């Protein structure tokens, strides 16, 4: 499988996480030891009648610039805890988190505050709006914290409010807004200080399904404009596969598989993940570039598709009688080919590696 030239994996690493642990129920020093050695036995012994819990167990991953990195898992999988460890809202027990090479877990309180003000933005599941401030003041809040004067911060806040489509509502209060509108305010606020990394903790989970879809569309539109480095937490498989550049699937605190949606769809690491995939419209996830046979030459009169076209678009042509299709890159050069015979093989075999 060839990685598409548009994939983020080629870009520099923005946020790197190595062997991150968060253990509840152990004193900090002991927890740090467990984190360093990774000894599972230490977690089995009971203290005070309770077993220690590893909410995050040795997570490691790289997030590249302008990549949408999704942490996905069920409740209790540790994804929200992991997110909070990355921002140090929760202090990790061990491991390292580096932002542009700077180890966040080693910096002092002042530097962390500065980083939070200038480099990070976060969107919360239950919106987290301050009810006593109107929309404009809520959006301007991070700028006020930095000490920016009123005219400058209100101008910037208006820009952001307009960006999320709420112009005209600046003077309204959160209690007068719908859930979707409140989350837009939350999004505007998180972007007000032009953060380098954008954290979103289940931002659309508290909205009803129709609004959720609209917000996902909004999110995709914003990312096309802003090109932020994003860490996105969700429990919704379809949301993850729809939005992500790469997904990290979590279970019981550990990362079970990391990959692009297509990679996971084509080769789930175990039966647990294969179960998740049953709800995912794979034909919309898997692109031509993920399954094509690399080929050069001019391809005669075969129907042409691009590398980014999804199987859903290509399949009707193949089923309609074409023996094979050409896959071309963005410049129009032929780079691969998919044949109908391969496709039937693809659907026939079981893709999951037995658990």
Partner 1 sequence: MKPGNALSSASALLKMAAMPALMLASLAAAKAVPPIAAFPANWTIPVPAGINAVLGWLVPAIQPVTSLIGKLAGALLSTLIGILQFLPWPVVALAVALIGFKAGGIRLAALVLAAVVYIVLAGFWMQSMATLSLVILAVPLSVSLGFLLGLGAFFLPRLRQGLELAFDFMQTFPAFAYLLPLLLLFGFGPIAGLVTTAIYAIPPMARCTLSGLVEVPRERLEVAEMSGCSTWQRLVWVELPSARPMLALGLNQTTMAALSMVITASIIGGFDDIGWVVLSGLRQADLGKSLLAGLVIVLISVIVDRITAGLFRSPATSGTRIGGLSWPAVLAVAGAALVLGAAARLAAPHLLQGWNETRGIVDFGLINEVLLGFVARYSDVLDAIKNAVLFYLVLPLRVGLAGAVLPITWGFSMTPAVAAAYAALALLFALRQMTKGRPSAAAAILCLAALLYTGLVAFPWPAAVALAVWAAWRAAGLRLALFTGLSLAFVLATGLWVPFVKSLYLVVVAVALCALAGGLLGVLAARSDRFSALLRPVNDALQTMPQFVFLIPALMFFKVGEFAGLIAIALYAVVPAIRYTETGLRNVSPTLLETARQLGCTPLQSTFLVQLPTARPALLLGLNQVIMAAITMLPIAATVGTAELGQQIYVALGKADAGLGVTAGLVFCLLAINLDRILRGVAGRLRSAQ
Chain contacts with partner 1 (rule: CB under 8 A): 84, 87, 89, 113-118, 120-122, 124-126, 128, 130-134, 141-142, 144-146, 173-175, 199
Retrieve residue 327's tokens: 């896959």
Distance CA 337, CA 327 (A): 5
Distance CA 138, CA 126 (A): 15
Give me the least distance between CB of 155 and partner 1, in Å please: 18
83 neighbors 199 (Cβ within 8 angstroms): yes
Residue indicated by tokens 């914290």: 145
Which CB atom, from 78 or from 336, has the smaller least distance to partner 1?
78
- What lies within 8 Å, CB to CB, of 233 at 6+ separation is 70, 71, 72, 79, 80, 82, 83, 200, 201, 202
Which CB atom, from 133 or from 340, has the smaller least distance to partner 1?
133
Distance CA 219, CA 60 (A): 26
Distance CA 329, CA 149 (A): 49
Give me the least distance between CB of 224 and partner 1, in Å please: 25
Which CB atom, from 231 or from 285, has the smaller least distance to partner 1?
231
Retrieve residue 2's tokens: 């060839």
Give me the least distance between CB of 104 and partner 1, in Å please: 13
Give me the least distance between CB of 252 and partner 1, in Å please: 23
Which CB atom, from 124 or from 346, has the smaller least distance to partner 1?
124
- What lies within 8 Å, CB to CB, of 123 at 6+ separation is 183, 186, 187, 190, 198, 199, 200, 201, 203
Give me the least distance between CB of 147 and partner 1, in Å please: 10
Which CB atom, from 61 or from 199, has the smaller least distance to partner 1?
199
Beta bridge pairs of residue 324:
339
Give me the least distance between CB of 9 and partner 1, in Å please: 28
Which CB atom, from 206 or from 295, has the smaller least distance to partner 1?
206
> CA 15 → CA 88, 254, 331, distances in Å?
14, 18, 32
201 neighbors 167 (Cβ within 8 angstroms): no
- What lies within 8 Å, CB to CB, of 267 at 6+ separation is 259, 351, 353
Give me the least distance between CB of 14 and partner 1, in Å please: 18
Which CB atom, from 159 or from 329, has the smaller least distance to partner 1?
159
């Amino acid at each position: 499988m060839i990685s598409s030239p548009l994939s983020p994996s080629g870009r520099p690493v923005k946020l790197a996480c190595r062997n991150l642990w968060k253990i509840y129920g152990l004193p900090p020093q002991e927890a740090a030891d467990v984190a360093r050695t990774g000894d599972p036995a230490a977690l089995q012994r009971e203290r005070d009648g309770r077993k220690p819990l590893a909410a995050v167990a040795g997570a490691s991953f790289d997030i590249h610039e302008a990549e949408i990195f999704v942490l996905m898992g069920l409740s209790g999988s540790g994804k929200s805890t992991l997110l909070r460890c990355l921002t140090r809202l929760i202090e990790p027990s061990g491991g390292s988190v580096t932002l542009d090479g700077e180890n966040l877990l080693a910096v002092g309180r002042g530097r962390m505050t500065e980083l939070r003000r200038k480099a990070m933005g976060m969107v919360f599941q239950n919106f987290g709006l301050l009810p006593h401030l109107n929309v404009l003041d809520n959006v301007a809040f991070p700028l006020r914290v930095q000490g920016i004067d009123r005219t400058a911060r209100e101008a910037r806040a208006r820009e952001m409010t307009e960006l999320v489509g709420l112009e005209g509502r600046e003077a309204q209060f959160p209690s007068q807004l719908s859930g979707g509108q409140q989350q837009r305010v939350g999004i505007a606020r998180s972007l007000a200080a032009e953060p380098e990394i954008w954290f979103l903790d289940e931002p659309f989970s508290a909205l009803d399904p129709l609004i959720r879809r609209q917000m996902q569309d909004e999110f995709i539109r914003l990312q096309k404009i802003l090109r932020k480095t994003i860490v996105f937490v969700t429990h919704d498989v379809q949301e993850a596969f729809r939005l992500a550049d790469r997904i990290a699937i979590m279970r019981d605190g550990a990362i079970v598989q990391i990959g692009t949606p297509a990679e996971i769809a084509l080769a789930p690491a175990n039966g647990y993940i294969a179960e998740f995939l049953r709800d995912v419209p794979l034909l919309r996830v898997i692109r031509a570039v993920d399954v094509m046979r690399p080929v050069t030459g001019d391809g005669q009169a075969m129907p042409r598709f691009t590398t980014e076209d999804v199987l859903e678009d290509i399949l009707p042509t193949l089923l309609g009688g074409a023996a094979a299709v050409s896959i071309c890159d963005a410049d129009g050069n032929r780079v691969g080919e998919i044949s109908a015979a391969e496709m039937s093989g693809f659907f026939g075999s079981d893709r999951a590696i037995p658990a």
